[in-house]
Chains A and B, each alone.
Chain A
Amino acid sequence: MQFLPSPAALAALVKIALLVGGLMTAAAYLVLLERWIAAWVQDRRGPNRVGIPLTKIRLFGLGQPLADGLKIILKEDFTPGHVDRVLYNAAPLVILAASLAIFAAIPFGSVLPPLGIAGLPDPVPFLVAPGLDVGVLWVFALSSIAVYGVLLGGWASNNKYGFLGGLRSSAQLVAYEIPLGLGLLGVVLAAGSLKLDAIITAQAKTGVWYALAQPLGFIVFLVASFAEAARLPFDLPEAEQELVGGYHTEYSGIKLLLFLVAEFLHMVTAAFLIVILFLGGWHLWGVTGASDDIGWVQALLRFAILSAKILAVIVFFMLVRWSWPRFRFDQLMSLAWKVMLPLGLVNLVTVAAVEEYRPALEAALGPGTARAVAVALPWAACLVGWIVAGVFTPSGTDNTPILARDPLDVERGIAAGELPLAETAGSR
């Protein structure tokens, strides 16, 4: 008997199998969804031909992921002669392993009703590593490791486009981890826990999602997670029009597939985090309560609500892709350091102040008014912060050329009034 794994280990294995299988299928179908939305936005019909293999049944094209997957797996896996072989082969594995391992700490539902199996903790949570107290840190640490996959891929490719993609990626991801962390910090401060399931429960108990209580934090986190997932309008690491494929220019076949799957997993992770941290996770007013003591219907309902919210966020991600053009790199950096970082700090200070004085407020004003004030204050901070950021940050850089190389010429030109543009050349 002692050779058998414990029920807890078995439960973890089952959860891992479900999660990895589900995520891979989801990634495949998200590619289809992405293509559909791309087509619909462009007034096309999108892939609607492939159905069940070897039959004429089309099913609106739901067989497309299978065809896409088979096609890319059967393609030649070509390794160029000029690459660093070890790193070149390691990069896709690093990025995919990190992207999948992130989900160990992410709850994909609430809890199951008590099963009564000896050796299993009751109730069983929808979470691979339920005891992990540093869930949020785990997620952030591993998403930083996923960046290494991008960097290694770009470096090992020994290709200019690969270098540029990897370079941009490193700068962008390092820059946007800070606003991402600041947005997260407000949530952790308010919830008092680094466990993602505890953060959901905290929102479910009060009924105030953190997107409502910390609008500024939500905006900062949302923008930063677009950049972290390298989605348009921040997809500079792999801007096709400029960099061919960016860091995966030199990859083909199944290694490219791993990169692409990891990219979609980044988006799924970002959607999970947005929903869990700011949109209440599985909580929906009047439908799901906050208690852990639930039946099967409630357990499945919570899972369905969480999935629906995540799908909605992903559709938003995909719509955004076709709504706004890509930022230029200096604009991207300027947004991160000059706008998102200060706004994140403003949010953090506001949340800290509200949390510090909440007991005093409740004693003075009563719980109802105190809650209204606690929500109104961050909204006021959001409004003021946004307007200040909009008015006082540089809106862009001037691309008109510096008119003369010789500084004396410029001065002469200004003095003579011949060069009206000299003063606007350079950063505005």
Chain B
Amino acid sequence: MKPTDPAITWLEEKPLGLAERLYLPLFVQGLAITARHMVSRKVTVNYPEVRPTVGNPLIYRGVHRLNRDDAGRVKCVACFLCATACPAHCIDIVAAESPWPDREKYPESFAIDELRCIFCGMCEEACPVDAIELTSLLDLTGKSREEMVFDKEKLLSVYDMTKDAEPMKSKTLAAQGMATIGHGGGAGHGHATGGHA
């Protein structure tokens, strides 16, 4: 594009006033802003002692969990929709014939490589039975790569650990009357709860 192109809109700076040309207002402004921030409340926390507060656990994307149904069984039906949706290919499911009459398949093994995961939440969006969810647990550490591959038991234990603090999202949202359970509910989650942050 040439400088003479008529499509270019050249903006002219406003001419400086006397005070601005003397640099004084800018001088005072700059110092006032930095001085104010020097003493203002800090936004970071002393991490291990003080835990950062999660704004809204319903939309926070932390460690995964596998939800249990009312009978304490894994809710997952091994449909592979999460594994298909996953852009990082970190979900590995081995399906087997279900021992229970209410579904055809269940996951014999369900492993998430937390080191590969990019915490985008697509699995949660894709799940038709709200079995996989992202919790608000944010410190995810381990001493080896193997340890960071969470298997089914571990994911279920994350559910057991967090279910009291963070009830299943579908139930919470239903209680709030803001989203429908099941089909098509996933897309509405983030949006419906966003206003509650």
The answer on a CB contact under 8 Å between A419 and B23 is no
The answer on a CB contact under 8 Å between B10 and A419 is no
Give A369-397 interface residues, CB cut-off 8 Å to B: 386-387, 390-391, 395
Looking at B26, B27, B35, B42, the one whose CB has the most chain A CB atoms below 10 A away is B42
A401 contacts B by Cβ under 8 Å: yes
A319 contacts B by Cβ under 8 Å: yes
Interchain CA distance A395-B175 in the complex, whole Å:
63
Other-chain residue from B4, B38, B45 in contact with A403 (beta carbon distance below 8 A): B4
The answer on a CB contact under 8 Å between B23 and A41 is no
1/0 contact trace for B109-142 toward A, CB 8 Å? 0000000000000000000000000000000000
Other-chain residue from A41, A395, A400 in contact with B38 (beta carbon distance below 8 A): A41
The answer on a CB contact under 8 Å between B3 and A390 is no
User: Which residues of chain B are near A40, meaning CB under 8 Å?
Assistant: 37-39, 42
Interchain CA distance A401-B10 in the complex, whole Å:
11
CB within 8 Å: A-B pair count: 58
The answer on a CB contact under 8 Å between A45 and B44 is yes
The answer on a CB contact under 8 Å between B16 and A401 is no
The answer on a CB contact under 8 Å between A390 and B40 is no
Give B28-51 interface residues, CB cut-off 8 Å to A: 30-31, 33-35, 37-46
B196 contacts A by Cβ under 8 Å: no
The answer on a CB contact under 8 Å between A387 and B44 is no
The answer on a CB contact under 8 Å between B30 and A324 is yes
Interchain CA distance A404-B5 in the complex, whole Å:
12
The answer on a CB contact under 8 Å between A403 and B22 is no
Known A44-B44, A323-B33, A403-B3; contact A421-B10, beta-carbon cutoff 8 A: yes
The answer on a CB contact under 8 Å between A391 and B21 is yes
Q: How far is the CB of B41 from chain A (nearest CB, A)?
A: 8
A48 contacts B by Cβ under 8 Å: yes
Known A41-B34, A403-B3; contact A390-B42, beta-carbon cutoff 8 A: no
B165 contacts A by Cβ under 8 Å: no
Given A42-B37, A43-B43, A400-B10, 18 other A-B contacts at CB below 8 A? A43-B44, A44-B43, A44-B44, A45-B44, A45-B46, A320-B30, A320-B31, A323-B31, A386-B22, A387-B18, A387-B22, A390-B22, A395-B21, A400-B3, A401-B3, A403-B4, A404-B4, A418-B4
A residues apposed to B, CB below 8 Å: 37, 40-45, 48, 319-320, 322-324, 386-387, 390-391, 395, 400-401, 403-404, 413, 418-419, 421
B residues apposed to A, CB below 8 Å: 3-4, 10, 16, 18, 21-23, 26-27, 30-31, 33-35, 37-46
